[in-house]
Amino acid sequence: MKNPRVFVLLVLICQIGALALSTPKSVGPIRHTIDTIPAEYKRGLTTHIVNSSVDGHPLTVYSVGEPSKTSAPLLLLHGRTWSSLPVYNLPGSSTMRGFPNKVTPYMMDFRGFGLTPPDDACTVSPAKCAIDCRDVLRWIASRHSQELGLEGDGISDDCNPVIPSLLGWSQGAMVAQLTAQLYAKDINKLVLFGSLYDRDYIYKRQPIFSEGVGCSVIENTKEATLEDFTIEDSISREVAFKFSKACLETDPFKARWVNLHEFNALNPSLVTRPSMIIGGQHDPYSEESKILHLFAGIDGGDKSWVSLGGSDHASHLLEGVGDRWMKAVVGFLEFGRECNESMIKVADAKEEEEEKEGNTRRGFDEIVEKDDLNDFFI
């Protein structure tokens, strides 16, 4: 280094660089509150706060319509990156408001997404999501039983009309499957939409002594908001950019997923509810060869697999596909045997048998045992 001034400058630049790298952009994530999110994204929705049974964390839930004797409750789960508002209530293309009266739809935001604040650890994990989802399913069941004047909390028989069905999209489909494996009694029917399930993929564990990145903030990018759209002419530029804008306005920061290895507990043969698999035929994240194993493995009685032609990952938002998606999902929720007493008895007997074998609980116990999730469950 011949010129000492250049050397000093370089050292200075390096120091500033190191400082910039070591200082998070802000202390703790700044999040939206119900008042700050643009009103158009919540149009037509009722907002509820359900408190986690584990740590009291407030979970944001939205609904459309009121419980009624002639409508079936359904809970929708979003995916890995974007919360429920852009995914299911996009202005002009709302899925939530597109359901016919015979379905009462709900959707929830996982920890750190949309209007659900991050928890103290600033993380979200498959097990946390599954337990939060169970709490919301139970809250929906109790809301409907109260409204309908039914006895108990609604958590009982196979044919109970207040037990919600559960639909998850993308990574949310994996959460829905995990929830169904662990808490089958809390779910009526299961819909796995654009699932990322891959039986050959093993999620790696995190290093146990890693200190992680704490609550530092990572911004979401416009690029990422548009990556789900891969088929030309399947979505207009206008709708795609509306989605992009909604994503960045409701989820400016990434939620931090940890413990993805909990997804290794996914096992279709532990799914004991009637199930539908639905997805785009050309979905790059959900290959038919992988979904085939999922479909064949599920052991929940009635099942259906709908592959939507001309569609990639976000089928429900696509022109000419969204309508077919809706028809298929509602059709599946309606489809099935009439509920009668003999069926309830058969269902009870089957559940008792499964409980004896520890079937429905196995995945759950494994997750709790292998990880330090015990603290979480206290």
Ligand X SMILES: *[C@@H]1O[C@H](CO)[C@@H](O)[C@H](O)[C@H]1NC(C)=O
Binding footprint of ligand X on the chain (CB under 6 A): 49-51, 139, 337, 340, 342-343
Closest CB 129 distance from ligand X, rounded Å? 18
Residue number, 57 or 80, with CB nearest to ligand X? 57
Q: Of 182, 172, 188, which is closest to residue 279 (Cα–Cα)? A: 172
191: nearest Cα among 273, 80, 283, 98: 273
* Smaller CB separation from ligand X, 327 or 345: 345
Task: Return the number of other C-beta atoms located less than 10 Å from residue 236's C-beta.
Answer: 11
Q: Least CB distance from residue 341 to ligand X, whole Å?
A: 6
Cα 109 off chain centre by: 8
**Any bridge partners for residue 167, and if so which?**
76, 191
C-alpha to C-alpha distances, 38 to 94, 193, 311, nearest whole angstrom: 15, 28, 30
Tokens of 377: 């469950």
What's the min distance (Å) between Cβ of 61 and ligand X? 8
Of 3 and 342, which has the nearer Cβ to ligand X? 342
List beta partners, residue 77.
108, 168
Q: At how many degrees (to 10) do helices 126-148 and 171-182 cross?
A: 70
Q: What is the nearest approach in angstroms of ligand X to the Cβ of residue 303?
A: 17
Nearest alpha carbon to residue 87 among 104, 62, 65: 62
Question: Measured from the CB of residue 337, what is the shortest distance to ligand X in angstroms?
Answer: 5
8 vs 49, beta carbon nearer ligand X: 49
Q: Count Cα atoms within 13 angstroms, Cβ side, for 322.
A: 20
Closest distance of CB 340 from ligand X, Å: 4
Nearer to ligand X, 84 or 259 (CB): 84
> In sequence order, which ranges of 149-208 are alpha helices (DSSP H)?
171-182
Nearer to ligand X, 70 or 342 (CB): 342
> Which residue's CB is nearer to ligand X, number 345 or number 370?
345
* Shortest spacing between CB 50 and ligand X, in angstroms: 5
Q: For residues 163 and 158, give the distance between their C-alpha atoms in angstroms, rounded to a whole number.
A: 8
Separation CA 64–CA 71 (nearest Å): 12
